[in-house]
Structure 1
Amino acid sequence: MGAKQTLTLLFVITVAVASVPVATLGQPTASAQPSPAVQDTANATDAGTGQVQQPDDGTCNYVQLYNQTIDSIVQIQTASGLGSGFVFDLNEENGTGYVVTNEHVVNESGIVGVRFSQGNLSTGQVVGATAYADLAVVRVNETPEYVDALSVTNDTPQPGEKVAALGSPFGLESTITSGIISGVNRTMPTRAGVLPNAIQTDAPINPGNSGGPLVLCGNGTVAGVNQAGGAENIGFAISASLVNQIAPVLIQNGTYEFPYLGIRPAPLTQPIIEANDLNVTSGVYVAGMMRGSPASEELQEPTGFEIVNRQRVPVGGDVIVGIDGQRVETREELLGYVLTETRPGDTVDMTVIRDGERQNVSVTMGERPEPRTTA
């Protein structure tokens, strides 16, 4: 499935694709079912919202959380491997369900297998996908009666909140791992660039977990979509805010139009500050621009280089310090604003430091071009 595209980030980052090759694992394992003793503990839900109720003492009842969410978790089966997903939307009248997973899990497949926690295997049709956000939506026409859609939070989680990652790591269906929110507003690599607003967690995320939910222990809502484990005790998830923004459009249109600025943003480091004789210590340095991009008409990229402490440092580029009246201190803030607050065709007002002077420039956002393919 092709998808229209996200803001430009021109640095190349290699990302480990966390799906599991079928040839490595053989056939999927049987679903693990909770024992009757475990099931008896799983009845504490809010009557108004259906969300999990947890103790007020800051602890997490992971048994309760598991039993209240696991029926909404699925294993995604493709010709090239296995991944995870969760039921995002459900039409109770006709049983049609929409499953959210990663784009790299479906991997251009049109049809996938969807296995539910109690063993039901359905055929799913990929109705929309985007490589830039690494999100895909799969439609299942006959969802089992025991399945509910999981709620996706509208709030940004706080570092330290307890979470669980649910899915099928290494093909092991209905698996739960635990951890906390380690950080928010991170940038995360995808196959087509870098995605802002990502959630960092220490909950183990292994090959096969990709596409499954990262669930908040406090109420059982989805905080993000697990994408990949970056290193020991470091994993990343696509934020709930982006899931809520993009998934409904994929369901309706099959594609998503991403805004396009066309710069290579760099953090404002001490060598850049020194070489450019800047009087600011925060902002985003324009380290380069795509030819013909919206930014290339209004912003200024480096005009040369200087040597600082034996390092080659760019000089002459703009420093973005504000956008639409909001202060910009980091690359993550700039990219997050562009993705969540702008659309192709919108004009944004930027405040930049250029040649030592503060200036205001206006840039009209473009539409993100198709990702490049490699032979």
Structure 2
Amino acid sequence: MKRVMLGIAIFAGLTAVAIGLLPSTPISTAPVASGSIAAVEAETIALFRRSAPAVVHVFAQGQSLTYVEQAQSQQTGSGFLWDTAGHIVTNEHVVRGADVVRVRLADGRLREGRVVGRAGQVDLAVIKINGGDLPAPLPVGTSASLAVGQFVMAIGNPFGLDQTLTTGVVSALKRRLPTESGREIADMIQTDAAINPGNSGGPLIDGAGQLIGVATAIYSPSGASAGIGFAVPVDTVRRVVPMLIADGRIPTPAIGVVVAPEATAARHGIDGLIVSSVLPNSPAQRAGIRGIDRVEGLLGDVIVSIDGKPVRRLAELTEALEAAGVGKIVAIGILRRENTISLRVRTVDGGS
């Protein structure tokens, strides 16, 4: 998507591979015949040719009154075929607020699409186009066994340039990426590719040609590639996409508390999350969790753990609740004044 917010430019990404020579290895200065292709290049070319037909260009825009407003509101990004029924995976931010969605296939055909599911908390969305005469979807791999240094490639549409390939390696794993909603996406893949706006929603592929992630953003104060890109891991995609296709959303486990900013806790020297308020008739209220008493000027409960695991950041609270699921009982460790207590709370679906 062609915009930059808070130093994060939206994208789909990859990295660069360096091949080192041992000091004792002689370096040939003989000219290479024009047009010759090394084995590693041939493999990359073959991977691209197999994968590229499944990658699409996504155009999304809101309904506006004038042609100029429509042109200004258009968002573009990337996506890829998930199945033979015409479901396409992309980023939620690519289609956010869009009333009209169109998809251009790799061969240039343009299809009308509709958004059938959104999950802003993990920045994923599913678009449906008419099935029939579609390229084969990408084979789906796993992100659980990824290793730093592993070869990856990405295909997308940076700055609207169709079918652009970048290659590289996995730079880091289990990164956290803040979203515009204030949540964080956990377990993100970091990659070092030259990735730019418009790559958002495109696939990150491993050396076997399998999908391992969905490119989402680059860290860039300027809006251009800074060599630090992020992708949603495919294990998250495999969990979320079927629910989006079936229900249009994913459940969001919640207990009904509003927590104070983490900086507030830090200023008070508190190692945990201060409960600012508790929602009426929520599981937290029924369990006896207390918010800030503004009449008496008393600090609210401090959440310090869930099911015995320490909680110091909002992202850790969210991650623990999502791991538990909706309708499950969790043990919330609470620091109240100088006492630590444990309260059992049943999670509910807080909506997306």
TM-score for the superposition, normalised by structure 2: 0.71
Residue type matched to 2:345 in 1? V
After TM superposition, the structure 1 = structure 2 runs for residues 233-272 of structure 1, keeping only pairs within 5 Å, are 233-261=227-255, 262-264=257-259
Aligned residue number for residue 114 of structure 2: 125
1:84-129 deviation line (CA, Å, top 9, x unaligned): 0011122xxxxx2210011221223344221122222222222112
Structure 1 residue 295: Cα displacement? 4.2
Give the distance between the partners of 1:368 and 1:62, measured in 2 at CA. 44
* Secondary structure at the counterpart of residue 82 of structure 2: strand
- Report if the CA contact (8 A) 1:204-1:229 is conserved: no
Gaps of 5+ in 2: 12-34, 62-73, 221-225
What SS is found at the alignment partner of 2:321? Answer: helix
Query: Is the alpha carbon distance of 1:317 and 1:138 closer, same or farther for their aligned partners in structure 2, counting shifts above 3 Å?
Result: same
Matched, 1:173 2:162: yes
Counterpart for residue 144 of structure 2: 155
**Structure 1 unaligned runs (5+)?**
1-12, 20-36, 42-54, 91-95, 277-283, 305-313, 371-375
* Matched ranges for 1:323-362 at <5 A: 323-326=306-309, 332-343=315-326, 345-362=327-344
Q: 1:38 to 1:259 in 2, by over 3 A?
A: farther
CA distance in 1, matches of 2:317, 2:54: 35
The match for 1:105 is: 94
1:212 to 194, 202, 213: 202
Q: Report the secondary structure of 1:193's partner residue.
A: coil
Contact 1:165–1:176 (Cα < 8 Å) also in 2? yes
Task: Decide which of 5, 10, 14 is 1:18's aligned counterpart.
Answer: 10
| CA offsets 1:61-87 (integer angstroms, 9 cap, x no match) | 533332231111111012312110011
Instruction: Summarize the Cα distance change of 1:138–1:333 in structure 2 as closer, same or farther, 3 Å threshold.
Output: same
Whole-angstrom distance in 2 between the partners of 1:334 and 1:269? 16
Match of 2:159, SS?
A: helix
Query: Partner of 2:274 in structure 1?
Result: 287
Between the aligned partners of 2:55 and 2:38, the Cα distance in structure 1 is 20
Per the alignment, do residues 358 and 182 of structure 1 end up closer, same or farther by CA in structure 2, a change over 3 Å counting? Answer: farther
Please say if residues 266 and 285 of structure 1, whose CA atoms lie closer than 8 Å, have aligned partners that are also in contact.
no
Displacement of 1:191 in angstroms is 3.3
Matched letter for residue 70 of structure 1: A
Helix, strand or coil at the partner of 2:344: strand
Match of 1:192 among 181, 188, 195: 181
Q: Is the contact between residue 70 and residue 117 of structure 1 (CA under 8 Å) also seen in structure 2?
A: yes
Identity percentage of aligned residues: 30
- What residue number does 1:31 align with? none
CA distance in 1, matches of 2:145, 2:318: 16
Code of the residue aligned with 2:318 in structure 1: it is L
Shift of 1:171: 0.5
TM-score normalised by L of structure 1: 0.67
The correspondence for 2:302, drawn from 306, 310, 318, is 318
Amino acid of the residue matched to residue 201 of structure 2? G
> Higher mean Cα deviation, 352-361 or 129-138?
352-361
Query: Is this contact kept in 2: 1:86–1:150, CA < 8 A?
Result: no
CA-to-partner distance for each residue in 1:115-169, whole Å, 9 max, x for gaps? Answer: 1222222222221123333221111223544433331426253333332222101
- What code does the residue aligned with 2:195 have? I
> Is contact 1:160–1:181 with CA below 8 Å preserved after alignment?
yes
